[in-house]
Structure 1
Amino acid sequence: MNPALSFPPMPAGANESIIKPSLSFKKQVYRCVGAILLFIITYVLMFVGALAIAVVFAYFGITIMESLSSFITLILGGALIGSGLMLLFFVIKFLFKRTRTDYSGMMEITEQDQPQLFEFIRQLTAEAKAPFPKRMFLSADVNAGVFYNSSFWSMFFPVKKNLKIGLGLVNSLNVSEFKAVMAHEFGHFSQRSMKFGSYVYNLNKVIHNMLYDNDRYGRLINSFARMHALFRLFAWINIKIVEGMQQILKGVYVVLNKTYLGLSRQMEFHADAVAAYVSGSNQMVSSLQRTNIGQLCYTGLINYWNTQLGDNKRSANFYPQQLEMLRHFSRKHNLLLDDAGLPVITNGIADLIGGSQLVINDQWSSHPSNDDRTISLERINLITPTVTEPAWLLFKNAEQLQLQLTDSLYASAKLDNDIAAVDLEGFKADFYSAIDKNSFNSIYKGYYDERGINAFDIDEAIINPVAIPSVGIDELLSDTNCSLPRTAETMQQDMATLDTLIDVRKDIKTFDYKGVKYKSTEAQTVRNLIEKERLHILKNTEELDKSLFIYYYKNCKTEVNQQLLAGKYRNLFKYQAEAIKDYDLYNNIMSVFSKVYNSMTAENIHSTVNTVYNHEQQLKPRIQEIIADEETRSHINEDELKAIDKYLKSKWVYYYEPSYDNEAIGIFNAGVGNYISAVAKRNFELKKDLLNFQTSLA
């Protein structure tokens, strides 16, 4: 290993009892064994039953053909024998299904390619008392994982595991955190219980094959049924027996998978314990936080470049740009950067981005929440010093790897030969230009983002400002105040989650809110509490909007500026009110028009199109008003205006039986889309102009 790079130490005084399976772990193992046995017994009974039916059908079929030698008896006997054989085939057809491990999106590396990384991993596996990976792969994403080539025979013979390392993850961690994440993965390597994963995976393939992978079987039984009416009768009997088997298998599937997912969550806690034992609890906790932010920035960058493909641009190297996104995130949330240029996180990411305080322990989740993992790790409380160098120092020819994995991200995209590959400087120029264009002054700390300013009586606020507390701008724009809209939005999402819990997810028995555990029967009560608190926050937001206007109005040095500020507020309030109606018109027609992308009968299609025409009687006159309005017209370019005019000039026929007119549908989408885009751009620019003017007054 590079002599300039220190191998992160193990925690002093770590006791091996830490990595012994817990009582909860053992209980889940026993439950998983029971679920697997349940499946095996169920399947054996199904197989024996199908075999018995096939034997009985064959016996009677042969007997009938031998004793009554006529054409119809030959048909009857053949139908019996064929039906029995097909039923037997149904329960064993999974044996003939071939599966291959998907290596797409992954690049294998060898020790010759990456000697320092392999040396690091070899030393780590020795500390973790885990076997060295059979093969090692790199991927583009923010992830690391253990996988193996699971087949029917892997249930009976040992299978060596492979290690996958995502470069987006490497980009987000220092060396100590990278060691912690790798130690977590090697915690899985050392778990005998991973064997159950092979069992469950393969048994699930059996169930899936018998429940859903029946196209070939369906064609076979249809061909059988077309031979004769008697064949059709026994095909129907066959189908009814198969449907009965499938109902039983659905129940077994629920038991098998819920049990295994419970074990998977315990396996994650155990792998975390191994990581703490080898690298320190603090490093694993830090890696969880850094990985979350790395994923957030990675996803944001993917979305950014997806929008750029339309302009024939792509990323030249994804990873320096992801780092720039991490640094932008740090600046936005006032986080310090460490020696590797990575954000220093003192609290969880939920605290930074206004995360939910609702936690549901979902039986169908394979991983515990990061909060639960953090609590478990902090309970272990093993601390090690941090090697702050970036994890990239473990990789040879890092830039070449980055370029190769960046290219892999575009492997499935259809790119023009002359597409421009944008480097870091080009990305920064465009990215920050877009941020400046599409965001408000940073003094507001995101307070006005993605919402309208609450309307109030401007004249009353000017005449009676004493109703507003006289405080400074720092207090008005405190972090707590600026987080109010995001908090209200999160509460709205939590209420929607609880609605699902109340109406749909009857399988969830408990949930946590603000650290307090509740029964699912208390979900409505908690929802009411959240709604009450949300309404209080919305009221505070309304008052704060008004207070900010009065603060800036009082700080105007001239009467002209006071009039300008009040006028800008009045103008914005007017267009905000109109926009509500515009969005209603847009959403109403699009909710109907979206149905054309579904399969419908001709009668339903005609009904849908007629409803669209009814909505257009209101929408088209409104669009005429919009493009006649000078304020809105200034936010529509010539191409957009042509698309709107083309849509307005005619009553387009969207459906000529038996097919849709795709050209007319395209004209509708372009015209209506440009109309609502103009409304959104107008309101954004009006609000931005107002807020910039406010800032200039202080």
Structure 2
Amino acid sequence: MDGIYPANPTTIPANLTKPSKAHKRHVWLAVLGLITFVVIYLALTTWFGWSSYNLIHSSITTGQGNLFTWIVALSSGFLTLFMVKALLFVKKGSIEQEYEVTAQSEPQLFKFLFRLADETGAPRPHRVFLSPRVNACVFYDLSLLNFFFPSKKNLEIGLPLVNALTISELKAVLAHEFGHFAQRSMALGNWVYIAQQIAAHIIAKRDALDNFLRFLSRIDLRIAWIGWILRLIVWSLRATMETIFNLVLLAQRALSREMEFQADLVAVSVTGSDALIHALHKLQAADEAWDRAQSFVNDQVREGKASKDFFAVQLRVIKHMSGILNDPNYGGVAQVPVDNPAQHRVFSADIAQPPRMWATHPYNHEREQNAKKIYVPGVLDDRSSWIIFDDAQALKEQFTTKLLSRFDVEYQPDEEIFSLLDKVYDREYLNSRYRGAYLGRSFVRHAAKPDVLYESNIDPAISALSELYPEDLSAKLEQMRTLVRERDLLIALRDGFYTPPDGVIRFRGNEIKKRELPGVIEEVSGECARVQEVIFNHDKRCRTAHKCAAAQLGQGWDDYLTGLLALLHYADHMQANIADSRALLNNVYAVVTADRNVSSRELKRLVAAATDVFRALAIVYRDAGQVQLDTEIQQRLEIENWAASLGDFTFVAPDQQNISDWLNAVDSWLNATLGWLGALRQAALEQLLVSEARVAGWAKAGAAATPAAARSQVPQSYPTLTPGEERALQKRLDLWDRFQTADGFVAGALRFVVAGSIIGGALYLTMAPHLLL
């Protein structure tokens, strides 16, 4: 193990990992909030239980009970049962596709983990699981007993994470998790989580007790009123406990932020200030590459073949993406400078969301600032993390076999699989000479008509073709992507779709208030529009230069390029229109079901949104006969006729009677249609760029062009969806739904007052029979 274990920093500042004053303050706030929730919960449960018992006992022993007394007693007993049932839960900590390893199966790994746990002062993990996720985390079983006895901690290690990190970086990530193992405030987090499970059972779960109340409310009016009152009290209990627990969560989120900072410092104490930050930088690429690798493997599995080593595919994808983006640090990180390393920064101050593994953690640049506030030099060991396993290659193959055990596949040699993967990335639009101009973006969506995608004046000189994709284009594209990401995140913050982890909005190094968001969004949108205009003008210049060259060559190539651009425009806009109608349907469905009750007005609104989706789909099939594909596109799609490939449109229009069945069936139609349009868009883009490259090659060489194929044809008119014309989504619930769901401070406060008053009335009601008795 001495030859495997990365060296620790030689000098560690005193009290580096000692909890800060802010940490301690948030601990006390979280404790206070949790105690308040528990006391109120137990007090209500005890009161209803005592009232039920006392009323029944008094009625029986004194013989003075009447019908009213018995109704109150039994109702109190029902409410007691309702409150107690949420306490009787056990939540098993688990991970999907779990693969447990032991000290016997992986002795080297456990020696590494035990040594790291001992060095960080953390308890050793109870059990260790390997997973197919870019992740490492702590998980455990939870029940009411864990309010009094600590739960045993299990450790999950994602092998795709291992695959992407060096041994120093993995050590830092695991040390961060062990930092949580060692935190005393982790117990408080467990208590809050247990309380959260109780609150979730009370607030969200609907079971036999709710069914009983609904049944009671529908029978004879002389009895139904009891069900109505009980349902009202149950609603009040749910609303009150949810409001109180939300206050607990606010305090817990602030504490969680401090806990993450402290866990980071634990990692710094055993690896130095750089290793953890380097790992964090690599996670985004590792996530993306793993998703792309899974998509590729799924395609291969459908053909009955697969690689023995899933993880080699992930690394191959990272290599390809690095070349496509012209970014040598994609999936890697720049070297730490020798001079003044404490001032070196990997992340800039922005509002970007962290990778999925740490999506609820503080911002990346804040974590880096925390890790380097007191800079601890460390030795960065660049060896692969796989060295902690006794037989890494065998493990990779065993794990791959486990992941694909449900499928009937034949494992192929790596060379064959890599060859197929290389073909996937051997696409014209992914060629590095385009500087990533066609990666993950549409250059036709902003234009309502294909003609707008050409310039009226351009230098027709052949030499211009060699200057279309300059080196600085990469920087402009990255600037555009950054601005778009910033704008979209600011809009999501404004509309409440995204909430900062600690409730504070930080943008470009400054804290901004929510009321300032509209002005900031307007400013960033203006910056974004100016950069986009530069990129769009570049797109026009590319299309026009190639069309001019094609016109000089003759042989129908200018007409052919025009047809391909029109086909791309059609496929892109039709796909966007259907996807946008689906987004509206999802939005309406979420809104009308927010309070778990759909009124007749809401049902009509849902049917209207579904009808919009139906019409968007129907247009594709109605006009399919007008889409004529050229022979090159047919070969790329491996079809002869677009309409025949789509098939007949046999889907029925939605109405109030069939809406439930319609919603169950619509996704299959949407996925199939979007899949075909996506394939058509991809084929048109690829063929357009390949054809432009041919034209440029002939023009530069002064060679004669071969005759072009007959151009593709699209309908003369079809729905278009330029940015800004998307269907308006409801961002806030109406007043009644906001009251029901406590959406917003005013609605939440009002609901709390109403619910509290009803509970107060219920408590008084349970006291009245005592006074009579």
TM bucket by the smaller chain? 0.7 to 0.9
Q: 1:111-510 counterparts in 2 under 5 A?
A: 111-222=103-214, 231-334=223-326, 343-345=332-334, 357-359=350-352, 366-410=360-404, 415=407, 417=408, 419-437=409-427, 439-449=429-439, 450-452=441-443, 455=452, 460-462=457-459, 477-504=469-496, 510=504
- CA, structure 1 residues 290+630, in 2 after alignment: closer, same or farther (shift >3 Å)? closer
8 Å CA contact retained: 1:188, 1:194: yes
Q: Verify the 8 A CA contact 2:458 2:545 in the aligned structure 1.
A: no
Show the 5 A alignment for 1:531-542.
531-542=525-536
**Alignment pair present for 1:47 and 2:45:** yes
- CA-to-aligned-CA distance 1:181-235 (integer Å, 9 cap, x gap): 2221221121111101220111111111211223022234456668875553333
- Rounded Cα–Cα distance in structure 2 between residues aligned with 1:192 and 1:665: 47
Q: Which residue identity lines up with residue 279 of structure 1 in the other structure?
A: T
Question: 1:523 matched to which residue of 2?
Answer: 517
Q: CA deviation at 1:523?
A: 0.8
CA contact (8 A) 1:183 1:275 kept: yes
Report the counterpart of residue 14 of structure 1 in structure 2: 12
The answer to which of 302-311 and 281-290 deviates more is 302-311
Letter in 1 for 2:690: K
- The verdict on how the C-alpha distance between 1:595 and 1:628 changes in structure 2, with shifts beyond 3 A counting, is farther
Corresponding letter in the other structure for 2:515:
T
Contact 2:621 2:643 in 1 (8 A): no
Identity %: 23
Q: Structure 2: which 5+ runs fail to align?
A: 337-345, 701-773
Alignment check: 8 A CA contact 2:353 2:359 kept: no
Of stretches 629-638 and 677-686 in structure 1, the one that deviates more from structure 2 is: 629-638
Within 5 Å, which residues of 2 pair with 1:670-685?
674=676, 677-678=679-680, 680-685=682-687
- Helix, strand or coil for the counterpart of 2:138? strand
* TM-aligned CA deviation for residue 664 of structure 1: 11
Deviations 1:584-630 (A, max 9, x none): 77568877999999999998999789777866886555322213777
Shift of 1:382: 0.9
Instruction: Give 1:7 shift.
Output: 2.8
* 1:37 correspondence with 2:35: yes
The alpha-carbon deviation at position 424 of structure 1 amounts to 2.7
SS class of match (1:17):
coil
Q: Which residue identity is paired with 1:373?
A: R
Shifted more, 541-550 versus 440-449: the winner is 541-550
Deviation, 1:18, is 0.6
CA shift digits 1:286-334 (9 cap, x unpaired): 2222333222211221232234443334443212222222333343445
Classify 1:25/1:682 alpha carbon distance in 2 versus 1 (closer, same or farther; 3 Å).
Answer: same
Assess if the C-alpha contact under 8 Å between 1:360 and 1:512 holds in 2: no
Deviations 1:621-644 (A, max 9, x none): 532221377776665544764744
Partner of 2:744 in structure 1? none
1:14-44, CA deviations, whole angstroms, 9 ceiling, x for partnerless residues?
A: 1231111111211111111111111122213
8 Å CA contact 1:281, 1:383 repeated in 2? yes
Q: Does 1:86 align with 2:78?
A: yes
Q: Deviations over 1:508-533 (max 9, x none)?
A: 66423332332222111111111111
- Number of residue-to-residue matches in the alignment: 668
Cα distance change, pair 569–513 in 1 and its aligned pair in 2 (3 A): farther
Tell me the CA shift for residue 148 of structure 1: 2.8
Alignment RMSD, CA only?
4.4
Answer whether contact 1:631 1:682 (CA < 8 A) is retained. no
CA separation of 1:638 and 1:227: change in aligned 2, threshold 3 A? closer
Aligned partner of residue 382 in structure 2, secondary structure:
coil
Whole-angstrom CA distance in 1 between matches of 2:638 and 2:369:
54
The answer to whether the 8 Å contact 1:565/1:690 transfers is no
- Partner secondary structure for residue 103 of structure 2: coil
Q: Which amino acid aligns with 1:461?
A: I
TM-score (norm 1): 0.82
- Counterparts of 1:616 and 1:109, CA distance in 2: 49
Tell me by how many angstroms 1:247 deviates.
Answer: 1.4
Equivalent-residue separation in structure 1 for 2:315 and 2:419 (angstroms): 15
Whether contact under 8 Å (1:297, 1:322) holds in the other structure is yes
- The residue that corresponds to 2:625 in the other structure is 624
Question: What is the TM-score with the length of structure 2 in the denominator?
Answer: 0.74
Contact 1:585 1:619 in 2 (8 A): no
Amino acid at match of 1:11: P
| Structure 1 residues 543 and 67: alpha-carbon distance in aligned structure 2, compared to 1, 3 A threshold | closer
Matched to 1:452, the amino acid is: F
Q: Tell me how far apart the structure 2 counterparts of residues 445 and 514 of structure 1 sit (CA, whole Å).
A: 26
Q: Deviations over 1:491-515 (max 9, x none)?
A: 3343333233333369766423332
Q: Which residue of 1 aligns with 2:761?
A: none
Measure how far apart 1:645 and its partner are.
7.2
Q: Quick check: 1:60–1:80 contact (8 Å CA) kept in 2?
A: no
Residue 100 (structure 2) pairs with residue 99 (structure 1): no
Q: Measure how far apart 1:572 and its partner are.
A: 4.7
Query: CA contact under 8 A between 1:317 and 1:423: conserved in structure 2?
Result: no
Q: Does structure 2 retain, via aligned residues, the 8 Å contact 1:644–1:675?
A: no
